[in-house]
Amino acid sequence: MKRVLVAARADADAFAAEFRVALPDHEIITNVPDDGLPVPYAVVGRPLPGLLAALPGLELVLSLNAGVEHLIASGEVPAGVPIVRMVDPGLVDGMVEWVAAQVLAWHRNLIAYRRKQDARAWEPAAEKLAHERIVTVLGAGALGGPVAAMLATIGFTVRAWSRTPRAVPGVATFAGRETLAEAVSGADVLVNLLPATADTVDLIDRALLDRLARGAFVVNGGRGTAIVDKDLIAALDDGQLSGAALDVFHTEPLPADDPYWLREDVLVSPHVAAPTHVSTAVGVMADSVRRWERSETPPNVVDLDRGY
Ligand code: NAP
């Protein structure tokens, strides 16, 4: 029986139980064995240092996360062992819900009204229709594509930006760095769903924020590294931005003295936009194992040169 090591730091027992159902002809283990026998498959989130190197006969790393920059940067995945990143229906649904919630809350002034409620202030804001708002989504991949499509379905005027050309129903698409300025120009909402790579670090800086419409709203569900925090804060302070919803940060957990905590115009959430759910993720990972054993390349193998 081939072994699958489930080294999730949270919910390991629940993942293992589901794997035993999905792969009954495999041995599912949750601790690194000391018998020297091969462990071809490792299911990991953020593995403890040395864990992957300790696995004899490792063939495939199944990431519990969609973002794998930490795995690449750790240098601990043995050369030649592919990393399959997490893309599953639960993750997509989660991100679509979270971004839609943030964009609609801002669009319909819900947070502003909650603040006015404290002052018993009956002050209607100018309520716009969705099609009067331009939303630019950075990233048009497994998450950005469905997010952009859903925002378009709600009625927003949506643009999506990616590295290579992508088609998204109802969405104007842009590809390549040379189109970035056009993609974000005049946007009322900027949604970041880019992976953390050398090319996306500090992409959202003051120059980019200044291209947005005055009073724009920034939503970050991708990675904190994309944003130059001091530029975002300065843009909030001077009114170029009216608010931001941030789920991901340079340092997580967000340090207690981080200025984002105290801002009324920033919604901080603790990296929960699209968590990995046992119920939807295990079937996808089991399918990757099956494909691997049929000598097929599983979907969503990370391209180490691209960094995602
Ligand atoms: P994906 O399928 O790999 O899509 C990434 C998108 O970004 C693609 O459209 C890609 O372009 C584009 N891109 C990458 N580098 C670029 C560059 N230099 N210039 C322009 N576009 C670039 O990834 P995904 O599954 O959608 O996930 C995106 C990220 O979301 C993850 O990497 C992770 O960091 C984050 N995430 C966060 C949470 C959370 O709970 N907050 C949960 C899951 C994921 P191409 O289409 O041309 O390749």
Q: Which residue has the tokens 């063939």?
A: 59
Banded pLDDT at 117 (limits 50, 70, 90)? very high
Is 242 domain-assigned? yes
145 pocket-lining for ligand 1 (C-beta < 6 Å): no
In a shared domain, residues 198 and 187: yes
Q: Could you identify the residue written with the tokens 């199944």? A: 62
Q: Which residue range is the domain that position 12 belongs to?
A: 3-88+276-293
Atom 17 of ligand 1: nearest residue by CA position: 163
CA of 194 to the centre of ligand 1 (A): 4
Is residue 119 within 8 A of residue 144, CB to CB? The reply is no
Beta strands 266-268 and 189-192, pairing class: unpaired
- Same domain for 249 and 131: yes
pLDDT at 135 over 90: yes
pLDDT-based confidence at residue 9 (cuts at 50, 70, 90): confident
Model confidence at 299, pLDDT cuts 50, 70, 90, reads: very high
**Pair 107, 160 in one domain:** yes
Can you give the C-alpha Rg of the chain in angstroms?
21
Average pLDDT, rounded, for the chain: 97
**Within this chain, do residues 107 and 245 fall inside the same structural domain, yes or no?**
yes
Q: Is 223 a catalytic residue?
A: yes
Backbone angles phi, psi at 266, to 5 degrees: -125, 130
Closest residue by Cα to residue 5 from 26, 35, 22 = 26
- CB of 64 shorter than 6 A to ligand 1: no
Q: Is 88 in the pocket of ligand 1 (CB under 6 A)?
A: no
Q: Work out the pLDDT band at 113, boundaries 50, 70, 90.
A: very high
Co-location of 224 and 282 in the same domain: no
pLDDT digits (tens, 9 = 90+) for 219-261: 999 999 999 999 999 999 999 999 999 999 999 999 999 999 9
pLDDT of residue 270: 98
Mean pLDDT of 35-47: 96
Contact 57, 39 (CB under 8 A): yes
For residue 227, what pLDDT is reported? 98
CB of 273 closer than 6 angstroms to any ligand 1 atom: yes
Query: Ligand 1 mean position to 139 CA, how many Å?
Result: 5
Alpha carbon nearest to ligand 1 atom 16, residue: 163
Ligand 1 centre from 296 Cα, in Å?
A: 24
271 C-alpha to ligand 1 centroid (Å): 15
Residue 161, strand partner residues: 138, 174
Q: Please give the pLDDT value at position 16.
A: 97
Catalytic annotation present for 277: no
**Ligand 1 pocket: which of 193, 225, 246, 268 to mutate (most atoms within 8 A of CB):** 193
3-class DSSP state for residue 148? helix
99 and 20 inside one domain: no
Q: Do 239 and 115 share a structural domain?
A: yes
Question: Which residue out of 70, 250, 271, 291 is catalytically annotated?
Answer: 271
**Can you give the pLDDT at residue 25?**
98
* Mean pLDDT score, 58-83: 96
Q: CA triplet 96, 190, 141: central angle to 5 degrees?
A: 50
